[in-house]
Structure 1
Amino acid sequence: MSDILSSIQSACSKALETTKELSAELPGSKTTQALVVGAAVGTAVYFFFLKTRYRLPPGPFALPILGNILDVADKKEPFYMKLKRWADEKYGPVILIYLGPFRCVTLNRLDVVTEAYIERGVDFTGRPQFHSMSVFSEGYNDILFASPNAAWKLQRKIATKALRHYMKGQHLEKVVHHVVTMVTDKMLAEADAFDPSRYIGVLMFHIIETICFGKMKDYDDPEILRLIWLLDVINEDLGLGFWEDALPLLKYFPTEKFRKFEKRMQEFLDYNYDRIDEHRKTFSENNIRDITDSILLAQKEAEREESAEVMAMFTNTHVGQLVGNIFGGGVDTSRHTLQWCLGYMAGYPQEQALVQAEIDEVTGAHLPGETDRAKLVYTEATLYEAMRIASVVPLGLPRETLSDTSVGGYDIPKGTMVLVNQWALLNDPEQWENPEEFNPKRFIDEAGKLRSKLPSWLPFSTGRRACVGEFVAKPQLLMIFACIMKRCKISLPPGVVFDPNPKVASFLSHIPKPFQIVVTSR
């Protein structure tokens, strides 16, 4: 008993030392700061008793309140790379960390990911709830962060049906051809080397805006530029995190940063709802113009098929959130993926030549379209290799255990956050030969066909909460990439070598360092 009391006393002392300076920097009165210190002591005691009840995975020492935030924020080494190094050298594939007060298990190898998300999939389908995510999703009324309840299942069903409605016609092809031509014309007008990130960002925003709301806007449309700025700032805020998530009591005394975040989120939501209201006024089931119309059609079909009780779970808020998920979710990963693609095409001109030779042979004089996909084997393999080696969302979206469970021989208590180190899976030498090399041929079999889905290629996650838009995102990205390659030759400035190392900014994203390219017409 004395050993237990001694351990608790030691944990409390560490908590007080760690939070003494930290609490003084937080907003609010001395009462608020005292609550922070009290929370630190309580957390330390809780951690101690937790370890006596469960056989938890190993992991680095966690500070009270902060947990392993200092490791996450280390700018010398991206956290997902640090996790892989820890897995290889010290802790094994299942690692326990603390993100502030939140217990989190990271999975860093394919076998433990398969065990958790496939074999024990039901246990791992929850989402952790943070105050910022509640604001982001208007009370968890979206697909991304809602709990796996009946409303979430209905929303996924409607989302899948809406996306399939949209993919039936030539909508996507027309949008991509129009926007890629508009943006590549601007790129080709550049006389000198330039950073392609702004052009790719504008390209993706225009495509997603047109897909969602059906309007072909001018290149420098002020609303598009405003949306780009809004989502950039919102994503930056989310990537850096909020005190309100780590200390829930602070939601009653929000920081200035959080108040700005709420205001920006509301502006983005208002933009979506204004467009949805416009669509409702002119909606026709016989003229589906865009994703918003597809969602409204799926909603009406569900109203005819389902009971009033069921449809109460798919309100106008759910419609707005679904459109917002497609809008916001379709931009960031795509634009960063395309930036990596252009960087690797410039850095590997021999691969670029193979891609362009295939595109020319398959498409002739026209831009690549939906019907060309099956024949663009090497082009699609090149896209997949860029998605593999870059892994722009290296830790995926967090999940949460819905019950006490286990993985890799360790106990995982109910309510534990779970992160899959997708970067580690996509760069695992046991799964990929020479993973540091850019080699599209690894995705092509002996018969010259695109390999069926490889177990360790999981850019869209896996299991019950895999990305609902995967079947749309892959052909869309391929068409955009192929159209750019059809029109443009991408080169590096003389004497410059492409740097494949990421820009270290956030543990949430694997973004290329700024680079310049020279673009000439083909």
Structure 2
Amino acid sequence: MLSPSQGVLTFVKGVSNRLPGSSPTQALLVGALVGFLAYVLTRKRYRLPPGPWAWPLVGNLSLTRDDQEAFYVKLRRLAVERYGPVITVHLGTVRCVTLNSVEVITEALVHKGADFAGRPYQHSLHEMTDGCKNVAFADYGPGWKLRRKLALQAIRHYMRGAQMENAVHEVVAVTADKMLAEPGAFDPKGYTSLLMFRILDSILFGQTKPRDCPPLEQVMDVFDQFAKESEERFLEDVVPLVRFCPTPRFRRAMKVMDQFIDYIRKNIEEHRKSFSPDNIRDLTDSILLAQIEAARADGKETMEQFSDSHVVQTIFDILAAGIDTSRTTLHWALLFLAGHPKVQTRMQAEIDAATGPRLPQLADKPNLPYCEATLYEVMRLSPVAPTSLPHNTMCDTTVGGYDVPKNTLVLVNLWAAMHDPGKWEQPEEFKPERFLDAEGQLSAKQESWMPFSTGRRSCIGESVVKPELVLILACLLKTLSVSLAPGQEYRVTTRFVSLFLNPPLPYSIAVTPRNK
């Protein structure tokens, strides 16, 4: 009985004896054959997750087609009907493992967090973020850990002040007046976008503005141009040779990104000129303080990992991600409130009981459980980033009983976890009370509620966004009531613009003042 290795050698000798030609030719062919057979016999075998058959080159890109069912909905249907919660799909030539239940998401991102904490390389993001020097898209490692730690430290320091509350009061009052001045029904998207940008700009930069900074409306237009150019995947991310001669769309996106980064850089430079550790005016000051304190404690190594360029990119992270996620959440919230007047009325009664004649404050949050529950239900039903940002495996690992090789792209279907009928009663219904206990107070956070993702790469802005949006909604509803435009049917439909963003289709509302 021959062993596998002996069998291979016997087979190779037999082939070599039959090969025509000179001895060097035989040696070359035999060597190639031996190498190939050795690779086949010794390569590591993986038990990969199942998935639909993939076409050559294009893979399963048809799943991402904009039709009657969004990509993340299709994934959950495939999970339930055929493959189970861990599914392999091919996005073009890239193999991608998708996680479609809270159990496998928790296993991967919490219990095996370091294994799944990487970010895949993407040329466009690398170029736009100065080599991924931000927090959101940087790969997992010591530098990323330090930057995330310092960013969270700055956010905690900032949240002790009253700057956010003052910014919300000022901006919401102006926005509400403009909305009430509309002669009829209108699309609120422009208002929610500018409202969130003004608030975030104030949170980050306060009133300190370089004299040559453009008006905020102009900066917002630049950001919207970039968002539009980036809706579809860049060819440069798919075909490396194209990077040597970039497409017009890529060049346009880089140009508007440079303008947006320049706005941030000028604000930071102005802050450095007037910075005082005894007078932290806004979140940028908090980040600069974190940089200075870390440099004093750890010296040169910290400065290399949290340089001035890293500071710019970290602030870009907070501003850009905060605008897109918060304005989209607020846009969804106004649609849900306009379509559910009873929910709106209950929120307003709670707000009035907690605040009397004054505007709501952050300190009122414990007395606004139904308002907070409503926000949580908006985020559950229509998460802004339904598949989160993509992950990348740092090593060979496993999830759900399957092997996941190193450097595998992983998409986390947060939408599926938050629409699982085994975890949520009537998951397609808008029911804020599902987050309240028998006494009408917020119940403990449910494991499958994860609009900010979970684990090591969860959103660093969660501690700011949740109280900020509760306060914004409370201030708006203190001032006005919203309803659907006359004759408009209430419908919850996603405008599927990319794998990672979930805005509603355009809709119109009417607003009326509240006589308090």
Is the TM value for this pair above 0.5?
A: yes
Q: Structure 1, residues 53-107: CA drift from partner, whole Å, max 9, x if none?
A: 3211111222333222232133332111111111111221111112223221110
1:204 to partner: Cα distance: 0.5
Report what 2:482 is aligned to. Answer: 490
Question: Which of 158, 173, 181 in structure 2 is aligned with 1:166?
Answer: 158
Between the aligned partners of 2:474 and 2:243, the Cα distance in structure 1 is: 47
Between the aligned partners of 2:42 and 2:135, the Cα distance in structure 1 is: 32
Report what 1:40 is aligned to. Answer: none
1:378-397 superposed matches below 5 A = 378-397=370-389
1:225-236 superposed matches below 5 A = 225-236=217-228
- Conserved 8 A contact 2:66-2:496: no
- Conserved 8 A contact 1:73-1:507: no
1:427 to partner: Cα distance: 1.0
- Conserved 8 A contact 1:239-1:508: no
Q: Structure 1, residues 116-163: CA drift from partner, whole Å, max 9, x if none?
A: 111211111111011011012210111011112111111111101111
Between the aligned partners of 2:147 and 2:467, the Cα distance in structure 1 is: 23
- Conserved 8 A contact 2:397-2:405: yes
Question: CA 1:49–1:406 in 2, change beyond 3 Å: closer, same or farther?
Answer: farther
- 1:414 is matched by which residue type in structure 2? K
- 1:262 is matched by which residue type in structure 2? M
Between the aligned partners of 1:49 and 1:369, the Cα distance in structure 2 is: 67
- 1:500 is matched by which residue type in structure 2? V
1:173-252 superposed matches below 5 A = 173-215=165-207, 223-252=215-244
1:425 aligns with 2:417: yes
Aligned-residue identity in percent: 49
1:391-470 superposed matches below 5 A = 391-470=383-462
- Conserved 8 A contact 1:210-1:216: no
- Conserved 8 A contact 2:208-2:271: no
Question: Which of 270, 281, 287 in structure 2 is aligned with 1:289?
Answer: 281
1:353 to partner: Cα distance: 0.5
Unpaired runs of at least 5, structure 1:
1-47
Cα root mean square deviation, aligned: 1.9
1:49 to partner: Cα distance: 11
- 1:311 is matched by which residue type in structure 2? M
Give the TM-score normalised by structure 2. Answer: 0.88
| SS across alignment from 1:323 | helix
1:127 aligns with 2:119: yes
Give the TM-score normalised by structure 1. Answer: 0.87
Report what 2:19 is aligned to. Answer: none
Between the aligned partners of 1:474 and 1:379, the Cα distance in structure 2 is: 11
1:50 to partner: Cα distance: 13
Between the aligned partners of 2:364 and 2:492, the Cα distance in structure 1 is: 30
Q: Structure 1, residues 466-495: CA drift from partner, whole Å, max 9, x if none?
A: 111211111011111111111111112333
- 1:268 is matched by which residue type in structure 2? F
Between the aligned partners of 2:94 and 2:41, the Cα distance in structure 1 is: 15
| SS across alignment from 2:311 | helix
Aligned length: 472
- 1:398 is matched by which residue type in structure 2? P
- Conserved 8 A contact 1:112-1:408: yes
Between the aligned partners of 2:139 and 2:498, the Cα distance in structure 1 is: 26
Question: CA 1:222–1:346 in 2, change beyond 3 Å: closer, same or farther?
Answer: farther
| SS across alignment from 1:75 | coil
Report what 1:17 is aligned to. Answer: none
Question: CA 1:508–1:196 in 2, change beyond 3 Å: closer, same or farther?
Answer: same
Report what 1:304 is aligned to. Answer: 296
- Conserved 8 A contact 2:294-2:302: no
1:349 aligns with 2:329: no
Question: Which of 265, 271, 293 in structure 2 is aligned with 1:273?
Answer: 265
Between the aligned partners of 1:514 and 1:92, the Cα distance in structure 2 is: 34
Between the aligned partners of 1:369 and 1:477, the Cα distance in structure 2 is: 12
- 2:466 is matched by which residue type in structure 1? K
| SS across alignment from 1:126 | coil
Report what 2:307 is aligned to. Answer: 315
- Conserved 8 A contact 1:103-1:416: yes
| SS across alignment from 1:481 | helix
Structure label with greater radius of gyration: 2
1:98 aligns with 2:84: no
Between the aligned partners of 1:287 and 1:448, the Cα distance in structure 2 is: 40
- Conserved 8 A contact 2:208-2:267: no
Question: CA 1:49–1:383 in 2, change beyond 3 Å: closer, same or farther?
Answer: farther
Q: Where does structure 1 differ by over 4 angstroms across 4 or more consecutive aligned residues?
A: 48-52
- 2:433 is matched by which residue type in structure 1? K
Between the aligned partners of 1:417 and 1:188, the Cα distance in structure 2 is: 47
Between the aligned partners of 1:123 and 1:131, the Cα distance in structure 2 is: 23
1:59 aligns with 2:48: no
- Conserved 8 A contact 1:77-1:504: no
Question: CA 1:269–1:370 in 2, change beyond 3 Å: closer, same or farther?
Answer: same
Q: Structure 1, residues 278-318: CA drift from partner, whole Å, max 9, x if none?
A: 11111111221111111111111112222322322110000
Unpaired runs of at least 5, structure 2:
1-39
Question: Which of 120, 129, 141 in structure 2 is aligned with 1:149?
Answer: 141
Between the aligned partners of 2:474 and 2:43, the Cα distance in structure 1 is: 53
- 1:239 is matched by which residue type in structure 2? E
